[in-house]
Structure 1
Amino acid sequence: MVVSFLLAVTQRAKAQTDADALMIPKNYFCAAAVYTHGSWDHYWEGTFKRDNQNLGTVSTNVYSLGGNYGLSNRINLLFMVPYITTNASAGTLRGEKSFQDLAVTFKWMAVKEEIGRGLFSVHAIATGTLPLANYEADYLPLSVGLHSKSVALRALLNYQTGRFFVAGSGQYIRRDNITIDRNSYYTTEMHYTNEVQLPNATNFMFSSGYRSLKFNAEATFTKITSTSGFDIRKNDMPFPSNRMNSTAVGLILKYSFQSISGLEFTAGGNYVLDGRNVGQTRSGFAGVYYVFSTKKEK
């Protein structure tokens, strides 16, 4: 997962993600197709915000296919496969086009209790990623990813009263080391190896909004922080082991078609308010979801 110069990196059975409290019922499957576009023309070189005339505007397109299956009413299994293209409007660097990383998520609703006038739930969420192609990680900001295996653990708390909810989650992301196509590199010291130790990261997210059978609206606040890493040197290119921090706000809208049972449309966007060694990305996305039962009725 690349925090940084990419995108991030989305009832009657409702489509849901690895970052919300919605669960799909047992024996139901949700098929998803999502398109995301993001771009930036300013970035933080360490904590110094600047532009780069040799890059112009850097844009990213993400085409994702995924699914979610209800193993039980409390346990869901999700997967997502993204294909990513990158481009810079100026300079001579060419963008990349490649499949990125397969993400598989195990989502468990561990607690579900009525408290006061609302419903409180606790979710434990584990996600693993595996690179699907031999793309070049040492090509930021135009790489499609970091080409690292990773494991992420998230705890999510949700409280809903009527149609309004508030939620908060904390996630720890552990990344494996990667190898790059050179035998030495400099960070804050010289390394005579092709192996790069990537920083791990924490991800805290807070959200609040409105949920009904027909329409959902959710506002989000996300803060991602690397646990180590170094800053981009002045007028240098980014490197996979840079410290990459970001603070972003977002909006997610979801509409369920009443005339076609199980069909849902999702749209939204995100904006990076502040960061360190990341682009100030504006992004928007739109997705189509279809939820259906895999169990034949007798």
Structure 2
Amino acid sequence: MTRLIKRNKYLLLLIFCLQVSSGFAQTDLDAIMMGKKQLCIGPAFTYSSWKNYWEGTLKRDNQNLGTVSTKMYSVMGAYGITPKLNVLFGAPYVKTKASAGTLHSMKGLQDLNLFVKWMPVEQELGKGTFSVYTIGGVSFPLTNYVADYLPLSIGLHSKTALVRLMLDYQVGNLFVTGSGTYVARDNIKIDRTSYYTTEMHLTNEVEMPDGASYNFRAGYRSEKLIAEAVLNGWRTLGGFDITRNNMPFPSNKMNATTIGVNCKYVVTADHKLSLVGGANATIAGRNMGQATTVYGSVFYILDFNHAKKAAKKTAKTK
């Protein structure tokens, strides 16, 4: 067995969900900013499933599990404090299920994710525009869900903090974006008084290894349409492999590389309503399921600048 849901910034499944890219429905992984006093918010749905997985570096299946699937229902949003400083949030409700065996499914609210996104540099360079972004984020559990029930746990119940540096270069409507992230994870407590990793631990506290991720994306970006290819990687900085035919454990080494596509289309002429969709697949991993993921979302812009102007206009006519 292996675990399907792991947490990064983002949290690999959250990265699957949050890497949805759109011109106005921006995320913590794309080079897009909201305007001042604009709120982009909307629901998102993610479905991910796997049958084969890596037990350490050995790729195999497990007929006692069958196909492990995850459904994630999220509310995501971004608010522009200024055109160069945004805050973002996301909160998923997760349901897991195995098609075979005796392990029961789990469901519930997972973690609240909060980000601050700052663009300190935006300047003309050659024939295009070069931009630098810095992102900081935290996440923490919203409920007391069980972490030590992998691969069907809905999360790892660890508080996290991340820092990210992102570079973007756009020439006309063509762009390339790259970023690197470091994720610090707090220790967790599990519902047993001892456990074995590579040695015996007579405690219920589990030391969680930190992690790092990279993200590269390139494609076409305009005010009406964004279409891009995405390469994403996650590496656990420590941990240990699942032993043969054993259950996975929260502090396992969990690595994954995914490739995918994202697309966003602005539906309305005022650019307030947009549709986002995409898919990705795991092409390499360690102690991870070989997951295929599809996702979609609807986002709407609430412009509080217009609301303020309308209120002033109304007051003048009275």
State the secondary structure of the residue aligned to 1:137.
coil
Question: 1:143 & 1:2 partners in 2: Cα distance?
Answer: 9
Tell me, yes or no, if the aligned pair for 2:160 and 2:183 is still in contact at 8 Å: yes
Residue 7 (1) aligns with residue 13 (2):
yes
| Partner AA of 1:80 in structure 2 | G
Alpha-carbon distance change, 255 to 142 in structure 1, aligned in 2, over 3 angstroms: same
Q: TM-score, normalised by structure 1?
A: 0.97
CA distance in 2, matches of 1:6, 1:76: 22
Matched residue, 1:31: 41
Q: Which residue of 2 aligns with 1:136?
A: 146
Deviations 1:129-148 (CA, angstroms, capped at 9, x unpaired):
01000000000100000000
Q: Which residue of the other structure, out of 50, 55, 69, is the alignment partner of 2:60? A: 50
- Candidates 105, 125, 141, aligned match of 1:115: 125
**1:138-157 pair list within 5 angstroms:** 138-157=148-167
TM superposition score normalised by structure 2 = 0.91
Distance 2:247 2:211 in 1: 21
1:260: how far off? 5.7
**Aligned in 2, Cα 1:186/1:43: closer, same or farther, shift over 3 Å?**
same
Give matches, 1:53-202, under 5 Å.
Answer: 53-202=63-212
How far is 1:95 from its partner? 1.0
Structure 1 residue 113 displacement after superposition: 0.7
Amino acid at match of 1:158: D
Distance (whole Å) between structure 2 residues aligned to residue 196 and residue 71 of structure 1: 38
The C-alpha deviation readout for 1:143-196, integer Å capped at 9, x for no partner, is 000000000100000000000000110000000000000000000000000000
Aligned length: 297
Shift in alpha-carbon separation, 1:158–1:261, aligned structure 2, 3 A? closer
| Contact 2:72/2:94 (8 A) holds in 1 | yes
Distance 1:214 1:43 in 2: 39
Residue 14 of structure 1: how far off its partner (Å): 1.3
Task: Quote the Cα distance in structure 1 between the aligned partners of 2:153 and 2:14.
Answer: 13
Measure how far apart 1:13 and its partner are: 6.9
CA distance in 2 between counterparts of 1:62 and 1:38 reads 9
Q: Secondary structure at the match of 2:13?
A: coil
In the aligned structure 1, how far is the partner of 2:160 from the partner of 2:32? 24
- The match for 1:21 is 31
Checking the alignment, whether the CA contact within 8 Å between 1:56 and 1:88 is kept in structure 2 is yes
SS at match of 1:7: helix
Give matches, 1:214-233, under 5 Å: 214-233=224-243
The one-letter code of the counterpart of 1:111 is V
CA RMSD of aligned residues (A): 1.6
Q: Which amino acid aligns with 2:75?
A: L
Contact 2:23–2:32 (CA under 8 A) maintained in structure 1: no
* 1:52-97 superposed Cα distances (whole Å, 9 cap, x missing partner): 0110000000000021110001000000010000000000111111
- 1:254 matches 2:256: no
Answer yes or no: is the 8 Å Cα contact 2:25–2:77 preserved in 1.
Answer: no
Q: Amino acid of the residue matched to residue 266 of structure 1?
A: V
Q: Distance in 2 between matches of 1:200 and 1:181?
A: 22
Cα contact 2:37–2:79 (8 A) shared by 1 = yes
CA distance in 1, matches of 2:187, 2:23: 39
Q: CA deviation at 1:6?
A: 7.0
Q: d(CA) in 2 for partners of 1:107 and 1:223?
A: 21
- Where in structure 1 are there 5+ consecutive unaligned residues? none
Look up the SS of the partner of 2:220 in the other structure.
strand
Alpha-carbon distance, 1:101 to partner: 0.2
Shift in Å at residue 3 of structure 1?
A: 5.2
Q: Does 1:286 align with 2:286?
A: no
More helix by share: 2
Is contact 1:98-1:144 (8 Å) kept? yes
CA distance in 1, matches of 2:40, 2:183: 26
Aligned pair 1:271/2:281, yes or no? yes
